[in-house]
Amino acid sequence: MAQRRVSMRKTKEILRLKFEAGLGNHKIGRALGVSASTVWDTVARFQATGLTWPLSSDVSEANLEARLYRRHGSLEANPERVPDWAGVQRELRRKHVTLRLLWEEYKAESPDGYQYSWFCEGFREWRKGVDLVMRQEHKLAERVFIDWAGDTIPVVDSETGEVRPCYLFLAVLGASNYAYAEPSLTQDAAAFLGAHVRLFEFLGGVPELLVPDNLKTGVTSPCYYEPDLNPAYTALAEHYGVCVLPTRPARPRDKAKVEAGVLYAERRIMAPLAAAAVLQPGGGSVRRGR
């Protein structure tokens, strides 16, 4: 059964994230709402064309699509050619056994089987799927976790006395837990995207991955398998050359870093400000925001 065919827009984004950002198939798949096997198949088809990334100006989308999806026997999935990955893993535990040695044995038995690069990639993808729960390892400058704090800060208009809620945008670096906080009177798309721009300016650079919660300003259709990003958020990611990897719905472990950052901000920033605003001159009171 052939892998799922994706639109040319997603195909080009898969290739950009693979060859420019250097991301793995699982990260690309989650960012674009496709399976890792689809990413693998797309990249393999592209490599089989002999083209290089970035594409030259004379390669149109129609030409690229024709070259990617013309029928190649070696590119069609064939269960008989899929190695026994569990057996490969067992063999690798033996002394002096390498993936190349196992691939050579595999090719001797299946001459029309996968090439070495596909063999290695397939084994890595299979091994990732074996571990149901995996500890997150964060590399420097790799990820920034993003969310809005649940509580609000009451802001009083000095002229009218009107009390308005002020929201807090939070961003936490994965490796260092370094947090960035920015107040905002709204949570609309302009405020959300503007906070990202100021975050990048403050950090003096951009991460590889943005990991937002499933906010309406960032993710238009939260989904376990195929989340759809807001077009403006996608444009911002393309402009800065980063990948957006939304957290999975109802998976708090995916955003533990920013949840801890929100808790810290609520205790050390929002609570003192709210307490200071409880009693106003003249005896008036201000309710704590929620």
Residues 174/257, Cβ–Cβ less than 8 Å: yes
Within a domain: residue 75? yes
- Tell me the H-state helices in the chain: 8-19, 25-32, 36-49, 61-69, 85-92, 99-109, 116-130, 189-203, 231-240, 256-265, 271-276
Judge if 85 and 199 occupy the same domain.
Answer: no
Rounded distance between C-alpha atoms, residue 80 and residue 208, angstroms:
37
Q: What is the C-alpha separation between 138 and 175, in angstroms, rounded?
A: 5
On the question of a cis peptide bond just before residue 54, with omega within 30 degrees of 0, the verdict is yes
On whether both 112 and 175 belong to a single domain, the answer is: no
Which of 80, 107, 130 is the last residue in one of the domains?
130
pLDDT mean values, one per 10 residues, the chain (290 residues): 64 90 88 86 83 85 78 46 82 84 87 77 75 58 84 82 87 86 89 93 91 66 55 89 75 61 76 59 34
Instruction: Give domain status of residue 187, yes or no.
Output: yes
pTM of the prediction? Answer: 0.48
Q: Are residues 100 and 169 in the same domain?
A: no
- Phi, psi (5° rounding) for residue 66? -65, -40
At position 59, the amino acid (one-letter code) is: V
117 with 200, same domain: the answer is no
Same domain, 103 and 213: no
Q: What angle do CA 75, 4, 87 make, to 5 degrees?
A: 60
Q: How far apart are CA 42 and CA 196, in angstroms?
A: 31
Are 14 and 64 spatial neighbours (Cβ–Cβ below 8 Å)? Answer: no
Same-domain status, 148 and 267:
yes
Domain count for the chain, please give it: 2
Question: End of a domain among 77, 104, 130?
Answer: 130
What is the span of the domain harbouring residue 47? Answer: 8-130
CA distance 197 to 195: 5
- pLDDT on residue 272: 74
